Structure 1
């Protein structure tokens, strides 16, 4: 093999590797929009959850008219991560609601352990198409919940279903998964001491 052929092959290899790196870089930027599209297409809940202030502002801006002729069944579900020694359940499992009317429901939580534990509730709505039409005005999921050992509490959820909810959706399931939050501050302070 002569020297010019070897140089040409090396240049081609460098060129192909450069294209590969550029392609990987572009793919990295495309991941977020692709993930959002995948979540939307499959009905997977993404991390895009509106805050309490957003919901209150949207609700107050155009107080929706109550649709008394339509009923939607709301089912409430709750689950607790295995490493969290809490009991957690909706006080009411099902409600028939009129779109546009504000409702209040409570979820009961009990810390079965003898020590203080902090948790965070993660909401999920099914079918996913109803997500934008279920407006949580006040929700325990907006903040972390801390319970002392053997403490019980009822946590409020104030919500309204938008009258714009598509007619084919007549049942919505609102699920909450309760996760234990580790005390990261204490861990960081302990590491600094050592």
Structure 2
């Protein structure tokens, strides 16, 4: 024969088990929700999975001392590796070290499909890269261009006054290339 069961005791055990399972489910949801920012922070700290990291030494507009005794010529260049036209709106400009400046690059998707793209900067002379401080740049993140879409993308920058005095001209060049290629499915 079987022993009689205590219905009240099983109900209490079931409620305890349900409570424990709810706590575990909430903790799992919280952990899953926190994974994205944790992953992004780990990638930022380690420098992986970033094509062009944002200049973390620049925290916003600061009271810089503009060196009016020097003038640097900044030349702008663009190379398109994909289905678009890509160019700066000006070919060069004169800036004083420490002075905030802005240039705009234009890109036109010439395809009848959306494309994802990324811009990678390069500098000449190479020693200038440490002194070229970008506050805002389209190169900080991937760009999505709709079919036949045109965009104007700004670069806000200043030249660190610590730039060696023998550097009179800096060339900022961007290579804009498609990510995923033409066979990539877009939603």
- TM-score relative to the length of structure 2: 0.67
1:88 and 2:86 equivalent?
A: yes
Bigger helix fraction: 1
2:76 and 2:168 map into 1 onto residues whose CA distance is: 15
1:149 to 147, 158, 163: 147
What is the DSSP-based 3-state SS (H/G/I as helix, E as strand, rest coil) of the residue aligned with 2:127?
Answer: helix
Deviates more, 1:132-141 or 1:174-183: 174-183
8 Å contact 1:55–1:137 — kept in the other structure?
no
The corresponding residue for 2:54 is: 51
- CA shift, 1:64, in A, is 2.0
**Residue deviations 1:133-162, cap 9 Å, x none?**
000110000011111111101001000001
- CA shift, 1:48, in A, is 9.0
1:104 and 1:64 map into 2 onto residues whose CA distance is: 16
1:92 and 1:78 map into 2 onto residues whose CA distance is: 11
- CA shift, 1:69, in A, is 1.6
Report how many aligned residue pairs link the two structures: 134
Moved over 3 A (4+): 47-50
Name the larger-Rg structure.
Answer: 2
What is the DSSP-based 3-state SS (H/G/I as helix, E as strand, rest coil) of the residue aligned with 1:56?
Answer: coil
Mapping of residues 102-181 of structure 1, within 5 Å: 102-181=100-179
The corresponding residue for 1:99 is: 97
The gaps in structure 2 that reach 5 residues or longer are 1-49
1:115 and 1:48 map into 2 onto residues whose CA distance is: 24
The gaps in structure 1 that reach 5 residues or longer are 1-46, 188-194
